[in-house]
Structure 1
C-alpha cells in the first residue's frame, strides 16, 4: 500500500474514532437542556446513553467479524471489508445524528441513539481493522498513538464545544456538530482505492502489485480462470444450476460430480495452477453449489446472538447498578440472563466449526491479558472521574468550569503519553511499558483520593492521563498486532468492547461504594486496586521486548509472502487434494 493510501486510511480511522468520542461527550453536556425542552424524565434521559451503550457493546464483535469475512454473506457476493463497513457506519451515524437534531420527542431521541449505537458498532472495529491491514505489525504503534491522542483531544474539547452549543443555539446544534464530518468521511470511504481492495480483506497483494513483478502469477491466474470455467467451472455451473432450482444438497453434490467427470484433464490442471496463484474462488464454485443456498458461510450467527444478548445484559445490569435504586430484582434477572447467555456462548464456541471468535485471537494469552488491562484501565479512569466530579463540585465547591480547569492536565498528558508511547514500546517492550503505566494510573487515583489543593489535584489528573494514554496505545497494539489480518476486525471489536464494558463497570463500582456510605475515599481506593490488578495482568502475559521482535518477524514474513503473491500454508489438506 502506498504512503498516500496509508495516510488516507489513518485519517479515516482517526476521524471515525473522534466522531464517536466527541458525540458521547457532547451528549453529556447537552442532556440537562434536552430534558427541559422535551419535558422528559430523568430515567428517559438516562436511556439516551444506556440505549446507545447496549447497542454498541452487543454488536462490536459481530461487526468486526463481518469485516473479516473473505466473501460475501449470500451466494458468493463480494466481501464487505472493513472500508465498506466503515462507510456504512459513518453514513448511518451521521444520518442518525441529524435525526436526533430534528427529533420532536424524547422517544425519537432514544430510538435514534440506539440506531447510532448500531452504526457506531459497524464503524469502530473497522477503524482498527483498516489500520491493521494498512500498516505492518512493527509500525502499528505510531498510527495507534495518533488515534489515541486524537481521542484524548476530542474528550477534552467535547464538553467545551457541547456546552457552548447547548448554551447558545441549543442542544440540537450539538448533535449537528458531527453530521458533516461523518458524512464526508463515509463518502470518502466509498471511493475505490485499487491497491487496497484486496489488501484490506487480507487477500494476496499480487493482484495490485506492479505488473513486472507479478506477471507469472497473474498469467497463471488468468489461465486458471479459463480452466476454472471449463474444468472445475463445470462443477461450479452444475452447482449454480442446481441452486436455481432449489433442490436438495444431495442433488447439488450429484450434479457437481457429473460436472467434474465432464471436465477435461488439461483444463483441470490449469485450474489447479490458477488456484495455487491465489485464485481460490474457482475451487469454491463446486462447494458453493453443493452447499445450502441460504447458508451464511463463515459467520457464526448463533454465537453472535448469544454474545450480543450476554454483553447487552452485562452493560444494562452495570448501568442499572449505577442508578438510584437500580440494584433490585429486575437487575438481578438481567444479570442472570447475562450469565446464562455467556455460558451458552462458551459451549457453542467450543463445538462449532466456524467460531465467532477465532482461536488464534481468543486463545492468545497476550490478547487476553491486553483485554483485561483495557477493561481495568478504563474502569479505573471512568470510575475515578465519576467520583472526582462530585468531590470537586460538592465537597470543594467548585463550579463546572473550574472543575474542568482542574482536570485539564488529564487530556494534555494523555496526548503527550500517547505520542511518546511508540518510543517506549520499542525500547522497553509492551510488558514493562504497560505495567509502569498501570502503576502510574493507580498512583493518580490514590493522589486524587487525598487531594484538596489545586496543585495536588492537577498532579493526580496528570498521572491519570499519563498512565491511561500509554496503556491505550500499548495494550491496543498487542491486541491488533497479535491478530492476523484476516482477524483484525474481531480483534478491533474485542478492543472496543473492552473499552465500553470497562467504564460501565467502573462507574457501577464507584456508585455502589459511594451509596454504601463509605464516601469518596473507599471508592477511589477500590478503583486503585482495580488498576493494580491490571498491572498484574500485564506482567503475567504481555509480551516483552524480545517476544515483540519475534512476533514482528513472524508477521512480517506473512506479509512478505502475501506481497509476493504466495499463500501461507494452512492446517489441513492442500488445495489440490480437496474434494
Structure 2
C-alpha cells in the first residue's frame, strides 16, 4: 500500500475513534431525553463499548498479524461505519446499546491495525514522524469533538453525531479492501501465527471484568476485581504452557516494551482523571458553562499537537529514556498547577503542561512499543498499546471519582503523584536510538511505497 494512503488510513481510523468518544459524551443527555431512557441505560452506551473494545484489542491485533492488517482495518472501518449508521436510526436505547457493542468489536479490529499498518509501511528508524502525525490528529480530534458534538446536538440533533463518521469510515474501509485485493500474494505478511483461542478468551475475560468493575454501578461491579484476578491467573498459566502464546515472549518479555506500556497506562490515567476533576472545578466551582470550560482547555490540545511534532527531534537527540522521563514529570507538574489554578492564565498553563507531557509520552512510548516488535507481531504490539490507552483512562476516571470526596485539590494532587511515580519506568527505555528519526517529510512520511524492514 502506498505510504501516503497508509498514513491517511491510520490517521482516519484513530481520529474516527477519538471523535466518536468525545462527541458521544456531549450527545448523551439529548439521547436520553429523546429515547425516554434511564440514566443507567444511557451510561451503558459508554460502558458496553469500553468492555467490548478493551477485551478484544490484543486478539484483534493477532488476527491482523495472521490475516493482514489492512484486511482487519477494512473490516473494522466498514463495521464501525455501518454500526454508526444503525445507531443514528435506532428506535430505542436497547438498539443503541447493542450497536455500541458492535462498534466496540469493530473498533477493536481497526485500532491495532492503524499501528500495524504503519509498522509494515515504515522502517523502524522512520516510524517516529508518522506516529507524531497520528498523535497530532488525535489531539485535534479530542479538541474539536466537544465543540462539533455540541453544534450537531444543538442543530440537527443527537442522531447527526453518529452520522458524522459514516461516510469517511466506509470510504477508507473500501479503499483498504481495494488495496488489499491489488496486493500481490508475496507482499502479504509471512507466516501464520496460531490464534491461541483459549488464551484470547482468558485475556478478554480478564480485561472485560477489570473494565466493567471500574465503570459499572457499585452493586454490579462487586465481583469484578475477583473475577479479573482469577481469569488473569488462568491466562498467565495458559501462556506459560502454550506453544505459540497470544503474547509472544519477544514482545511482552521486553523490559522497554513493558515499561512503555506501564507509562502509557499511568499518564493516560493521570490525564483523564485530571480532566474529569477539572470539568467539575470549571463548571461547578468557577461557574463556567460547557463552552467556556472547553475554551479553557484548548491549550491542552494545542500543546499536544505541538509536542507530538517535536517529539521525533527529542528522540533523536535525547533518546526515549530522557524524553519520556521529562515529559511524564511535565504532565505531573501540569496536574499540580491545576490543583491551585483559578484564573485564566494559570488554568491555561496547567492545561498546556498536561498537553505537552501527554503528547510527547504518547509518541515516544508508542514508538518504543511498535519499534521493538517484529513485523510479524506488529498487530499484537499495536493491540497492547491500544489496550493501555483504553484501560488507563478508565482507571483514572474511576480513581478521580473515588477521590472527589476528599476535594478537587486533593484529587488532582494524587493524580499528579501517579504520574510522578511512573517517572522511574522511563529508566528502562532505550537511550539514543541508532538511525535518523527525523528525515524529511517527503522521504520519511510521504515517500515511496517500499521500505526495508
Q: Retained in 2: the 8 A contact 1:90–1:186?
A: yes
Q: Find the structure with the greater CA-based Rg.
A: 1
1:549 matched to 2:434? The reply is: yes
- Alignment partners' CA distance in 1, 2:179 and 2:141: 29
Q: Retained in 1: the 8 A contact 2:307–2:356?
A: yes
Map of 1:440 onto structure 2: 330
Map of 1:510 onto structure 2: 400
Q: Give the 3-state SS of the residue equivalent to 1:549 in structure 2.
A: coil
Q: Retained in 1: the 8 A contact 2:70–2:180?
A: no
- Alignment partners' CA distance in 1, 2:372 and 2:436: 8
Selected match of 2:247 from 354, 357, 361: 357
Q: Structure 1 residue 53: deviation in Å?
A: 0.2
Listed as ranges, the gaps of 5+ residues in structure 1 are 70-79, 204-279, 281-295, 321-325, 553-561, 569-579
Map of 1:411 onto structure 2: 301
Q: Whose RCO is larger (CA < 8 A, sep 6+)?
A: 2
Map of 2:443 onto structure 1: none
> Kindly tell me: are residues 197 and 345 of structure 1, through their superposed partners in 2, closer, same or farther at Cα, counting changes over 3 Å?
farther
Map of 1:185 onto structure 2: 172
1:162 matched to 2:58? The reply is: no
> After the TM superposition, which of the residue ranges 524-533 and 490-499 deviates more from structure 2?
524-533
Q: Structure 1 residue 199: deviation in Å?
A: 7.5
Q: Deviations over 1:360-379 (max 9, x none)?
A: 00000000000000000100
Selected match of 1:174 from 141, 161, 178: 161
1:471 matched to 2:361? The reply is: yes
- Alignment partners' CA distance in 2, 1:200 and 1:375: 34
Q: Deviations over 1:470-524 (max 9, x none)?
A: 011000000000000000000000000000000000000011111xx31111111
Q: Structure 1 residue 192: deviation in Å?
A: 3.0
Map of 1:304 onto structure 2: 200
Map of 1:99 onto structure 2: 86
> Kindly tell me: are residues 511 and 199 of structure 1, through their superposed partners in 2, closer, same or farther at Cα, counting changes over 3 Å?
farther
Q: Give the 3-state SS of the residue equivalent to 1:356 in structure 2.
A: coil
- Alignment partners' CA distance in 1, 2:186 and 2:230: 39
Listed as ranges, the gaps of 5+ residues in structure 2 are 438-449
1:317 matched to 2:213? The reply is: yes
1:145 matched to 2:132? The reply is: yes
1:56 matched to 2:84? The reply is: no
> Kindly tell me: are residues 551 and 424 of structure 1, through their superposed partners in 2, closer, same or farther at Cα, counting changes over 3 Å?
closer
- Alignment partners' CA distance in 2, 1:34 and 1:200: 46
Q: Structure 1 residue 193: deviation in Å?
A: 5.8
1:86 matched to 2:56? The reply is: no
Q: Structure 1 residue 197: deviation in Å?
A: 5.1
> Kindly tell me: are residues 356 and 197 of structure 1, through their superposed partners in 2, closer, same or farther at Cα, counting changes over 3 Å?
farther
Q: Structure 1 residue 137: deviation in Å?
A: 0.2
Q: Give the 3-state SS of the residue equivalent to 1:192 in structure 2.
A: helix
Q: Deviations over 1:169-195 (max 9, x none)?
A: 100011100000000000000113688
Q: Structure 1 residue 319: deviation in Å?
A: 0.9
- Alignment partners' CA distance in 2, 1:143 and 1:31: 34
Q: Retained in 1: the 8 A contact 2:65–2:193?
A: no
Selected match of 1:335 from 221, 225, 230: 225
- Runs of 4+ displaced beyond 2 Å: 192-203
How many residues in Structure 1 have an aligned counterpart in Structure 2? 441
Q: Give the 3-state SS of the residue equivalent to 1:492 in structure 2.
A: helix
Q: Any residues of structure 2 matched to 1:273-292 within 5 Å, and which?
A: none
- Alignment partners' CA distance in 2, 1:370 and 1:197: 35
Q: Structure 1 residue 529: deviation in Å?
A: 1.0
Normalising by the residue count of structure 1, what TM-score does the alignment of the two structures yield? 0.74
Q: Deviations over 1:184-222 (max 9, x none)?
A: 00000011368855677434xxxxxxxxxxxxxxxxxxx
Q: Give the 3-state SS of the residue equivalent to 2:287 in structure 1.
A: coil
Q: Structure 1 residue 345: deviation in Å?
A: 0.2
Q: Deviations over 1:254-310 (max 9, x none)?
A: xxxxxxxxxxxxxxxxxxxxxxxxxx9xxxxxxxxxxxxxxx971100000000000
Q: CA RMSD in A?
A: 1.9
Q: Structure 1 residue 563: deviation in Å?
A: 7.9
Q: Structure 1 residue 534: deviation in Å?
A: 1.9
- Alignment partners' CA distance in 1, 2:187 and 2:157: 41
Map of 1:123 onto structure 2: 110
> Kindly tell me: are residues 200 and 406 of structure 1, through their superposed partners in 2, closer, same or farther at Cα, counting changes over 3 Å?
farther
Q: Any residues of structure 2 matched to 1:442-457 within 5 Å, and which?
A: 442-457=332-347
Map of 1:236 onto structure 2: none
Q: Retained in 1: the 8 A contact 2:68–2:189?
A: no
Q: Retained in 2: the 8 A contact 1:414–1:465?
A: yes
Map of 1:521 onto structure 2: 409
Selected match of 1:366 from 235, 238, 256: 256
> Kindly tell me: are residues 424 and 45 of structure 1, through their superposed partners in 2, closer, same or farther at Cα, counting changes over 3 Å?
same
Q: Retained in 2: the 8 A contact 1:81–1:200?
A: no
Q: Retained in 2: the 8 A contact 1:21–1:154?
A: yes
- Alignment partners' CA distance in 2, 1:15 and 1:100: 20
Map of 1:46 onto structure 2: 43
Map of 2:442 onto structure 1: none
